[in-house]
Amino acid sequence: MSTPYYGPDYAALQDFDPEIAGVLVDELDRIRGGLQLIASENMSSPAVITALGSTLTNKYAEGYPGRRYYGGCEVVDVAENLAIDRCKELFGADHANVQPHSGASANQAVYGAFMQPGDTILAMSLPMGGHLTHGTKVSFSGKWFNAIGYGVDKETENIDYDEVERLAKEHKPKVILAGGSAIPRLIDFEFFRKLADEVGAIFWVDAAHFIGLVAGQAIPSPVPYADVVSFTTHKVLRGPRAGAIVCKEEHAKAIDKAVFPMMQGGPQMHSIAAKAVNFKECNTPEYRDYARQVIANAQQLATSLGEFGIRPTTGGTDTHLSLHDLQGIGVTGADAEKRADAAGIVLNKNAIPFDPAKPNIASGIRVGSPSVTTQGMGTDEMKLIAELINTAITKGDGDPEHQVAKDVRAQVTELVGRFPAYPAPGA
Ligand SMILES: *Cc1c(COP(=O)(O)O)cnc(C)c1O
């Protein structure tokens, strides 16, 4: 009889390929050794990682469960059906496609399902908080489609709904898209639904960032309002690095055909199995507590940074991330990123709305709470983190040997020691 399970064997990898084995260890050390505040990152569970590191990676399964172009798919069909059923249940969706390899691939499929080259899409522009795949010129989305961008209101720094309405009526887009990568506030899905109906557009929500908060029932869901919702599975949601799409029944065929064969080839069955595990994890009281804590932590972090003059745009956040304007403290986004990094705090520079600086400098930073909340930290720790960020970016100079960087790093080490990432079994 064969062994029941063939799983990751680190010793064998170390023996054969010490260079890559070393990278795996160094990366684990890196995330364990610092504070991970990148809003789009998280730490997926050992169960998710086990499914990812499995022999399911070998199987060719072009097509969909029960309708494959290859033999021998009866086992992986079980995994994909579980992922689909759990996804539909989690989000109360008519239909789910769990094959997209990433958020960008999921988005490609949505374009493929609803638009022809040259058609018009109305979406939030990248500098205002959107995403590359929402019509920027360097992406397929801006090269092949006519993208009209909306922004935020200068006063509130929140979505400028009047502008959205005006542009929709003027340009009659085929698709109206809500969602982005740097939107700290809730989105008014009802407004978008009504507007889309009024101008005869498809209403698409790219929920890549916040879908985990929806899964954890901590914020309202776009699913009842939108024709189609695309998302990533590796951000707040905390699954494997991949994407998925849910939609209304009437669009099911178009979405499935657009994912395969229009945009992708064989699905990654190991990743789909990991999505199934993740959707099961999300449907638990523990995950719902997690989602609520993610928001409480993000709000505390935003408030505490604000008290140091590191101003949260829109005045705060309703979600897992906040965007901070550094102009008041006279530090650029690029310098802040570098200085925080030198002190063991990983975050990213980010353009703020109406940013006068170039994108590679930027006037802001984006901070997110998903990873530190996974580590078990709460609002008291967020107050401390805000203090550490302030010290690092106002007093440091980006040199890890600078005394300020060393002092902050010592406090970071103490903090992550109390809330370890991927603690050793029994620790
Ligand atoms: C992260 C993100 C994506 C892209 O996801 P990838 O997996 O990196 O391709 C798409 N849309 C939004 C809004 C995102 O935040």
Q: How far is the CA of 293 from the centre of ligand 1 (A)?
A: 23
Active site residue 62: yes
| Ligand 1 contact via 158 beta carbon (within 6 Å) | no
> Which residue is closest in CA terms to ligand 1's atom 6?
103
| Domains in the chain: ranges and CATH | 51-282 (3.40.640.10), 293-418 (3.90.1150.10)
DSSP secondary structure string for all residues of 274-328: HHHHHHHHHTSHHHHHHHHHHHHHHHHHHHHHHHTT-EEGGGS-SSSEEEEE-GG
How does pLDDT run across 290-328, given as a tens digit for each residue?
999 999 999 999 999 999 999 999 999 999 999 999 999
User: How high is the pLDDT of residue 132?
Assistant: 96
Q: How far is the CA of 174 from the centre of ligand 1 (A)?
A: 21
Active site residue 401: no
* Nearest-atom index, ligand 1, CA of 40: 1
Q: 370 near 37, Cβ under 8 Å?
A: no
Q: Choose, from 59, 185, 235, 349, the residue flagged as catalytic.
A: 235
Q: How far is the CA of 103 from the centre of ligand 1 (A)?
A: 4
Q: How far is the CA of 108 from the centre of ligand 1 (A)?
A: 11
Angle (CA) 391 393 395, round 5°: 55
pLDDT classification of 7: cutoffs 50, 70, 90: confident
Q: 41 near 235, Cβ under 8 Å?
A: yes
Query: How confident is the model over 257-276, as a mean pLDDT?
Result: 98
How does pLDDT run across 249-264, given as a tens digit for each residue?
999 999 999 999 999 9
For the beta carbon of residue 45, count every other beta carbon within 10 angstroms: 17
pLDDT classification of 9: cutoffs 50, 70, 90: confident
With 80 as the cut, is the pLDDT of residue 425 above it? no
DSSP 8-state assignment for residue 58: G
> Which residue is closest in CA terms to ligand 1's atom 5?
103
> Cβ neighbours of residue 376 under 8 Å, at least 6 residues apart?
419
| Ligand 1 contact via 123 beta carbon (within 6 Å) | no
pTM to 2 decimals?
0.97
For β-strands 321-325 and 311-312, DSSP reports them as antiparallel
Rounded-to-integer distance, Cα 271 and Cα 243, Å: 10
Q: 420 near 414, Cβ under 8 Å?
A: no
Active site residue 29: no
How does pLDDT run across 141-161, given as a tens digit for each residue?
999 999 999 999 999 999 999
User: How high is the pLDDT of residue 133?
Assistant: 98
The backbone torsions φ and ψ at residue 230, rounded to the nearest 5 degrees and listed phi first, read -105, 155
Q: 90 near 84, Cβ under 8 Å?
A: no
For β-strands 345-346 and 243-247, DSSP reports them as unpaired
Q: Fill in the amino acid letter for 10.
A: Y
CB burial of residue 368 (10 Å; 0-12, 13-18, 19+):
buried
Active site residue 86: no
User: How high is the pLDDT of residue 6?
Assistant: 79
How does pLDDT run across 180-205, given as a tens digit for each residue?
999 999 999 999 999 999 999 999 99
Q: Choose, from 32, 88, 241, 406, the residue flagged as catalytic.
A: 241
Binding residues for (6S)-5,6,7,8-tetrahydrofolate, as ranges, are 126, 130-132, 249
Active site residue 235: yes
CA of 412: how far to CAs of 27, 34, 157, 203, 339, in Å?
17, 6, 32, 43, 14
> Cβ neighbours of residue 25 under 8 Å, at least 6 residues apart?
none
> Cβ neighbours of residue 174 under 8 Å, at least 6 residues apart?
114, 115, 119, 120, 121, 201, 202
Q: How far is the CA of 166 from the centre of ligand 1 (A)?
A: 27
> Which residue is closest in CA terms to ligand 1's atom 12?
208
> Which residue is closest in CA terms to ligand 1's atom 13?
180
Number of H helices, E strands in the chain: 16, 15
User: How high is the pLDDT of residue 427?
Assistant: 57
Helix (H) or strand (E) holding 35: strand 35-36
Nearest CA-CA partner of 207 in 237, 165, 250: 237
CA of 235: how far to CAs of 219, 238, 391, in Å?
15, 6, 28
DSSP 8-state assignment for residue 219: S
Query: How confident is the model over 271-284, as a mean pLDDT?
Result: 98
CA of 341: how far to CAs of 22, 74, 120, 396, 420, in Å?
22, 47, 40, 10, 19
Rounded-to-integer distance, Cα 275 and Cα 84, Å: 9
User: How high is the pLDDT of residue 426?
Assistant: 62
Active site residue 68: no
Q: Choose, from 80, 157, 160, 206, the residue flagged as catalytic.
A: 206
User: How high is the pLDDT of residue 113?
Assistant: 98
How does pLDDT run across 104-137, given as a tens digit for each residue?
999 999 999 999 999 999 999 999 999 999 999 9
Average pLDDT, the chain: 97
Structure tokens at 223: 């699913």
Rounded-to-integer distance, Cα 360 and Cα 339, Å: 16
Helix (H, G, I), strand (E, B) or coil at 247: strand
